[in-house]
Amino acid sequence: MIKGNIDIVNYFAQRYLRSGMTVLDIGGANLSTLPLQEKGNRLTILDIKRVNSPSVRSIQADFYQWIPDQTFDVIWCSHTLEHAKNVGLFLNKMIKIASDNAIFVIIVPPARDNLVGGHINSFTPATLCYNIILSGQNLSRSSVITHEYNIAVIWRRFDWPLPALKYDRGDIETLNHLFPKKVHQGINGKQGWDKIRADDFDEILTNDASSETHQQNQTILNKK
């Protein structure tokens, strides 16, 4: 198991998990998310490899090709996005199969200088957030965790239309309000991202005010 990964699983389960949630773990053949079955939650593990566990619902499939028969309240994706051939398509599909108030958890390894087999993409906390924002999500209320060999971004679904972008210099400032911290061209993408906790996001989750929050998000969205 990846060092420090189970700590994030336990942190999430204790702080954010509520009873009756449907949870999808994309690429979870190592079974690290089994604790998310607590409180009567239904966990589904999707992996391109076979999952050998009779205690969990598992699906062997390519995520890009898979067509689910439901949406999910929690979508967990740990140490999988770095293997994705097309990050944008991957993130867009994650959002498409999520419920209106879904909570997303994406965990990736920190960027390394050396070449690693299967790791097509590399991320810093900043570039991970950047990619998620480009998929149409507002991360201004998200939390970022860097722990051991893990970079994690946790957020509640917050759809947001992208402004006109040049995909060049100036875009960071245009998207600044969608990041979990103030950003600008040339900001250090690794340092200073390890203690971002959205207090209002934590309060929203622990108080189980998801429906009201989604309505507030839509109100904000409609004003843009």
pLDDT at residue 213, rounded to an integer: 42
What distance lies between CA 157 and its chain's CA centroid? 9
33-60: pLDDT as tens digits: 999 998 789 999 999 999 988 889 999 9
- Per-residue pLDDT band for 217 (boundaries 50, 70, 90) equals very low
Sign, Cα dihedral of 185, 186, 189, 192: negative
Q: Identify which has the larger pLDDT, 213 or 37.
A: 37
Q: At what angle do helices 210-223 and 199-206 cross, to 10 degrees?
A: 140
The CATH homologous superfamily for domain 5-223 is Vaccinia Virus protein VP39 (3.40.50.150)
- Per-residue pLDDT band for 195 (boundaries 50, 70, 90) equals confident
Contact 74/15 with Cβ under 8 angstroms?
no
Ramachandran class of 196: left when φ > 0, alpha when ψ lies in -120 to 50, beta otherwise: beta
Q: Identify which has the larger pLDDT, 78 or 2.
A: 78
pLDDT at residue 72, rounded to an integer: 98
Q: Is 58 exposed, middle or buried (0-12, 13-18, 19+ CB in 10 A)?
A: buried
Q: Amino acid letter at 3? A: K
Q: SS3 string of the chain?
A: CCCCHHHHHHHHHHHCCCCCCEEEEECCCCCCCHHHHHHHCEEEEEECCCCCCCCCEEEECCCCCCCCCCCEEEEEEECCHHHCCCHHHHHHHHHHCEEEEEEEEEEECECCCCCCCCCCCCECHHHHHHHHHHCCECCCCCEEEEECCEEEEEEECCECCCCCCCCCCCHHHHCHHHCCCCCCCCCCCCCCCCEECCHHHHHHHHCCCHHHHHHHHHHHHHHC
153-176: pLDDT as tens digits: 999 999 999 999 999 999 999 999
